[in-house]
Structures are given as structure tokens and as C-alpha cells.
Amino acid sequence: MQSSTLAILLLFCLVGCVTCASNTTVRAYILDIQSEYEKIDTLGQRLTKAIDMLNFANINSTLIPQIVQTRAAQLKKLTTARSMLALEMSVLSNQCNMFGGDDCTVPTCSYHGKYISNNQTAKCVCDQDWTGLNCSVPICYSIPATNSSVCSGSGTCISNNTCLYPTPSNNLVVDTIRMYANGTVARSCKEYLSTFNESGLYWIKPDNNYPSFVVHCEQKFNGGGWILISSRNKSIPPKYSDVVKPLNDGSSMADDKWAIFRNANPDLMWKDSDRDEYSVTNILGWKNGANCKVLTTKLTDLLLAHKENTGCTMSGSDYCLLGDTRFGMTPCASCEATYTAPTLIWKEWKFKSYFWNDSPELSKADIYLR
């Protein structure tokens, strides 16, 4: 192999593999680099085995040492090329972990903060109980997850103020996260009902193509089996949280997790956090029949959906809302007065009135799916 081998290898990796792909985004390029890395890694392993065989070959030839020397030089260049590709993958992957979009240029701050950019600074300003350059490190009871003393040194901080302990510890606030005894995970809170009837945190895996994650299951109220997706408070703007708990702190499920459930068309329950008043609706009607605002893809929106018979003014008595930006958080069913049948949208309506101004305004509300 000539001295230009390394340059040729890198040129192939940086140009050849890209030109064979129609997708020229940064994320596609990372996949191309990964493919080339694997090819070089495989070639290096084969070359190593070949050199070993040549060294032990029982052949009396002066050419064998020359072949071994040449192959060893080639292996060295392959090793260098592989290391350079690994470094490039690492740098680009880190960038794409911090930013969204196909070209990794849209700041996300891990959905746990806001990206601030001006003439003096450009950085993520993290929400409470999150830290790190990209707001990806949770804080458990004032201690970052990266600190060895987090969760009293005996547990793992898996989300903000959520410690996972291998066994219960005395004198600690312990978040028990349930799964089946054999280590498997249910698809939903409803699936767990036959085994667990206690409300709390559970591992679920609703989609085979998405990793398991932790949710709060309401296993007592209205038949149980409800997944908490947002815990709202009129005085606190909604925010993303890895694990939504019924704390009324504005925590809401991240967009990618919400998309899994949104696509499955489950029932949605909007519950008064202070009273046993609630409503239940199927989200399909808000995806297909909400003419003013279809069911949102972002649970941090104040208004999730808006349906109205005439116009989109939220006036008169012909509109239905999921959430609101004006009247607090009571889901409004006044359009049902026109339809004369509440069941057209609401499967259950346990609030005192169909009209927002006839019912006590909700200051706190929890939104569930089943």
C-alpha cells in the first residue's frame, strides 16, 4: 500500500459513501460514516488475522517477512483511518444529540430549557431541576445526576427529583418504579391493572420501536389504567418533563412520547385536581373534527384543540375546547348545547355544567390517557 493509502481511504469515506446516497443531510451523513467505519473495522480484523497466519506460516520464503511488513503498514493506516472516523462520528453525534432537525441546527435543549442567542452568548437556559450544556442532566433533590452523592449515593437519578433504588432505603424519599416481577414491561397502565392496582410510577413500552419509559399510572380513579401526560397549573406555564407526576407544576410529556399515544387514538380524561370532576373524550374526534385547531402535537400548548360550528371566535354557545387561554383550564362543552347530545364528543362529562362560566374555574388540572 502506498503512502497515500490513508488519504484515499478518508477520501472514499468522506466523498464516495455520500455520493451513493440521495439524502445529504447531516444525520444521513453520520449513518454513512458509521457504515464506512464498520467496513474499515471489519477489514482491519481480517487483516490482523491474515498477518497472524503469515507469521506462523510454515513456508520457507524470503517474501513472507516483506508481505507481513507491508500488511502491518496497511493495518496501521486502517487503524488511523478508523480512529479519525470514530472521532468525527462522536463530534457530529454529540452535536445532533444537542440539536434537532435533519442538519442538527435546531436547538432543543433536550426539551428541558430554552435556547438563548444574542451578541454576547448562545446557550441553553435550563428549566428548574435540569442542568448540563444541553439541559439533559436531571437534578434529584438539589444534586445533579452526574454527582456521585445523588440519591444518597445508593440510587440513580433518572429524571428530575426521581430516584431509582435497587432496594428501598430507610430515611429516604423513594420513588418505586414498578414493572412485572420477571423484568418485562407492559404496554400501558391499563395492562398492568390485572397485577397492580396502586397508583404511582411504572415502566411501559407502548411502541416496539421506542425504548421503555416511566409514566405515572392512575390505577384507582374512574376505573384506573390512566397514563398521566400533563399536570397543569393556571399560574405555571406548561413545560416538558421526562416523568410527569401529579404535582400540578406544569409538567407535560415530551412530543415524541405524546406522538405515540396521539397516533393510537386513546381516550383522554381531563380531571379537576382538587375535585372529582372530570370529562372523558376520544382524541380521534379532536384530530379529525376540530375545525379551528386540531389536536395539538405539543402538550405545552395552553389550548390543545378547538371545535366550533360557525367561525372560530370562541363566542356564543357553539364551540368546544380542550384547554383555554382565557378561562382557566376547564374543558368547555358548550357546543353540545347546539348538538343536543354531549356524547357526540364527550363520552363522559362529570363537570357541573357544559358551559365554562357556569362551572368553577379550574386552577389545577391533570390530563390522562387510556
- 134-160: per-residue pLDDT in tens? 888 999 878 899 998 887 676 788 888
| C-alpha to C-alpha distance for 145 and 16, rounded to whole angstroms | 42
Radius of gyration of the chain (CA): 28
**Run of H or E including 73:** helix 63-98
Query: pTM for the full model?
Result: 0.55
- Total number of residues shown for the chain: 370
Q: CB-based contacts of 233: which residues, under 8 Å, 6+ apart? A: 248, 249, 250, 363, 364
Give residue 331's pLDDT band: very low, low, confident or very high (50, 70, 90): low
Give residue 360's pLDDT band: very low, low, confident or very high (50, 70, 90): low
Q: Would you call 80 helix, strand, or coil by DSSP?
A: helix
What integer best gives the mean pLDDT of the chain? 80
Q: What is the pLDDT of residues 83-121, one digit of tens each?
A: 999 999 988 888 787 677 888 887 788 888 888 888 888
Nearest to 81 by CA among 1, 8, 177: 8
Q: Of 123-137, 226-240, 335-349, where does mean pLDDT reach its minimum?
A: 335-349
Q: What is the pLDDT of residues 83-92, one digit of tens each?
A: 999 999 988 8
| C-alpha to C-alpha distance for 320 and 336, rounded to whole angstroms | 8
Judge residue 215's burial from the number of C-beta atoms within 10 Å of its C-beta, 0-12 exposed, 13-18 middle, 19 or more buried. buried
- What are residue 159's DSSP bridge partners? 162
Neighbours of 297 (CB within 10 A): 11
- What are residue 143's DSSP bridge partners? 140
Q: Would you call 126 helix, strand, or coil by DSSP?
A: strand
Using alpha carbons, list the distances in angstroms from residue 308 to 21, 291, 335: 47, 7, 7
What is the reported pLDDT for 2?
44
Q: What is the pLDDT of residues 277-306, one digit of tens each?
A: 888 989 988 888 777 889 999 999 988 888
Q: Of 48-62, 64-78, 229-243, 304-318, where does mean pLDDT reach its minimum?
A: 304-318
Q: What is the pLDDT of residues 233-280, one digit of tens each?
A: 888 888 998 889 998 888 999 999 999 999 998 999 989 888 888 889
Specify the CATH architecture of the domain 177-369. Answer: Alpha-Beta Complex (3.90)
Compute the half-sphere exposure of residue 197: CA atoms within 13 Å on the CB side of its CA: 5
CA angle at residue 237 from 231 to 239, to 5 degrees? 65
